[in-house]
Structure 1
């Protein structure tokens, strides 16, 4: 009986020592091309409106599949395609601003990892480009937030421009949709503190202007204050 017990303990110990634990999560991809805040001129023309651009990123560990997501920032229309490769060719609109990112996943884990989000213009016939529509950092669209001790919330965003010549952000903020109150800032400031009231929903957007008078509209975002 003791021999059997010792054998059982030995088998269990060996079994436990071979337990590898949960599968390793996938790593996030490092983006390569199109470059951040750039004009992409390498696309292959398909017709008057479209060109085919090849998106590229670095290999990442523990990844079975990559999902490329490309968003037309003029229309907020996304395209997504999944591939085991580290490059994907996609047909996109000429002369339009885009954001792109890559999500890594594997078949052994429920966890995924997302790369940085890069902006670029797909080359068109124009010789000058409007700024990229400002990207919201906080509050996240549709979120519920706490105001600080002085009944304020900080609005933060990220601007960008191929030619690096932004001169002004104009923030519209109010309880109405679309927002009506205008708050003008210089190009060096990408945040604004606003007074708020609890249990209220607010709407805001950002108009970005460059030194040639080109503008872009971020679209309207909303958040609720507890």
Structure 2
């Protein structure tokens, strides 16, 4: 009996000294996904205009609406004649940048953040920089008359007619010339990355295909400078 009691006591001790049940692992909360800073809104130089303002010599002031989510900005300026892009870094708006007078430029602002590698880019605007004391103004951006933006048109013998109106304060209309950019990709048309069609009149006929959407833009030129119209889109029935 004594032997049986001793065995029972030892058994209870072994059970009571066993390892404690393991705790469930603490769930790991995944890190929130990186978020790009917001894109800015451009202010000046205005889109499709002539810039006559120069702060010092040929320094142009670029302004945009800053966003709290960005810690710095990159201003990308493309000379549309040479297709060369310069990048300038700025902590905030405005920024003064030296340009060559008598040239047409496109510009955009990239928002950057120290918290992420993601970025956001504003829309691209275009302007002609006349410079200080420029006596000849750039032509007014052409007004696209037909087809209107969003219009559906019928082709005649596989072609449609593009027409526009352009004026220049110091150049007769008959002395103006044009380059027309048309294609199926909005961005490529806006950046002149499509074959151009030259014209000395304010209308041309171009080949199109039924069922497709096309975008077009007109560059108006006098002897010294140029301006760009907006980009219109239309559908071919």
TM range (shorter): 0.5 to 0.7
Residues 172 and 182 of structure 1 are in contact (CA less than 8 Å); yes or no, is this contact kept in structure 2? no
Which residue in the other structure is 1:41 paired with?
52
Q: 1:129–1:110: structure 2 CA closer, same or farther, 3 Å change rule?
A: same
Give the superposition deviation at 1:68: 0.2
Q: 1:168–1:26: structure 2 CA closer, same or farther, 3 Å change rule?
A: same
Alignment counterpart, residue 128 of structure 1, candidates 126, 137, 146: 137
Alignment counterpart, residue 77 of structure 2, candidates 70, 81, 104: 70
Number of residue equivalences: 166
**Ranges in structure 2 where 5+ consecutive residues have no aligned partner:** 1-19, 142-157, 159-165, 183-194, 210-216, 229-237
Q: Secondary structure at the match of 2:23?
A: helix
More strand by share: 1
- Deviating beyond 6 angstroms after TM superposition, the runs of 4 or more aligned structure 1 residues are 160-163, 165-168, 179-185, 212-215
Provide Cα deviations, 1:177-207, integer angstroms capped at 9, x if missing partner: xx798788846x9x95457xxxxxxxxxx97
Residues 131 and 214 of structure 1 are in contact (CA less than 8 Å); yes or no, is this contact kept in structure 2? no
Residues 95 and 126 of structure 1 are in contact (CA less than 8 Å); yes or no, is this contact kept in structure 2? no
**Ranges in structure 1 where 5+ consecutive residues have no aligned partner:** 133-151, 153-159, 174-178, 196-205, 219-226
Give the superposition deviation at 1:98: 1.2
Output the CA distance in 1 between the equivalents of 2:137 and 2:34.
49
| Residue 41 (structure 2) pairs with residue 30 (structure 1) | yes
Which residue in the other structure is 2:97 paired with?
90
TM-score normalised by length of structure 1: 0.55
Output the CA distance in 2 between the equivalents of 1:208 and 1:110.
37
Alpha-carbon RMSD across the aligned residues, in angstroms, is 4.5
